[in-house]
Structure 1
Amino acid sequence: MSGFMKRVRFSSINALYSPVPSTPYVFTTSTSTSSSKSSHSEDSKDSKRRRHVSKLTTHSRNKPFTISAPITRIHYLLAFSPYQLPPLPYDLSTNPSIVKSFISADLLFEPATDPPVSSLIITCPHLHWEFSITPMAASARKGGSHVSVLDVLYALYRGLRLAVHPLEYEALPSPEAIANVNEAYYSRCHSIGEANGRQEELAKGIKRIDFLMGRNRFLGLSKKSSRRDDNRLVWELNAS
């Protein structure tokens, strides 16, 4: 790169229950209590007890309940494990078609999650963009309307290939970050062996993939605890 000047380009409701109050009983010191009065008193006590039980039973029947959403698991090819090598060796800057050379099509078209979902969102701590994942036409022909493993890879690749706006570049937090993005841009372009292809890629300018600052190795997805308003799951991209 010594022969030219480096120049970057841009082309629920909670139910509350009150405690049941105890029934006050009046005691008398009179010794002239008839058996009929005693019987009436016992009947009255039993009636009050029954009313209390009925009150509790009614509250119990009306108690709201919710059904927990099923646990969603990620496909092992996409799963992030901090203590193991990723099962899918993939460079996020390359076309996902390359993985077809060492991963069977049947596996790649399997659902990305269990149970399968029709869409999901991926975020990354190194980027301020998010990626919405939906089934591709090819995937739909193979497995229906669910998001597949290959859908995830292609959506990330397409999203990271988008050009960066100059204002996004200027918003980088520090001169060091700018230098790292520039280095990632030139390194990515000059990794292309063919001269014309290399020049074409340089002319396309900085892309979102360069904002990873060289962390292009796919390590997998980890589930975030939040769901969006549309109930879509949010997953986090891990890269190094």
Structure 2
Amino acid sequence: MAANTVHTDDGSFFFFERKTCDLPYYRGAPDGISLTGWLIVLASVAVAFVVLMRTQLLFHNGFAGFIPPMLFVLIPLVTVAAVAGPKAPLALFRSLGLKDIGIILLFFVLNAVVTVVFGTLIVGLFHTAANPASDMVASASGIDQILSFGWSAVQLLGEEIFTILIFLGALALLTRFMSRKPALCLAALVAAIVFAMVHLPTYQWNLAQALVGLIPVRLVLLMPFIITRNIWVSTGVHVLNDWAIFGMAAYAGMNEG
């Protein structure tokens, strides 16, 4: 059964982690997911991403716009349930407390600072491409502009599931060869690199922009989950970040109109 297991602090935890529970899945069977199980889960993550890209071409208006991100969310979660038991996906989701809300707000501000700093660096050093999602929100009208915020929230949850499962899968592999602390750092970097690489089409295959711009941001977004073991917290930061960007784009679009 792949559930969070309580562990005492044996020095393998970072000081900022909640020590009443460990990260889920990575410790292997029977407490987590086996190596074979991880291969299946990570394959499902890749399939979910391809399905998202394909279905977005078909469903991009009205309430049908929720179909691609919902599939993006459900495919890996159903796979985790099939591999590790029906309750296994719940290990990613915990109730939100006041401290969690504070962490969301803190990392939203931190992520905004990192985005501005690295965004300024990229603009100064490289030719950059605009994120078409902002343009789509700005150009949308009526109900589609409102619904686009809902579509994005579901997709951002899917992006958190995508990234966190890659992180935990890498951690499961790396802890076979090294201690937990360096494995956790390296696994976070692996997940951030993969996250940046899958965004290459978004930025017109601008490798420098994707790597320099998104890896630091993704590491900041991953930290709330590592601290709290709660995907709602990292998703909350991600949603606030992107909604702020989309909101500014929508406001600019209204002024231009």
Please give the TM-score of this superposition, normalised by the length of structure 1. Answer: 0.28
Greater fraction helix: 2
Structure 1 or 2, whichever has the larger Rg, is 1
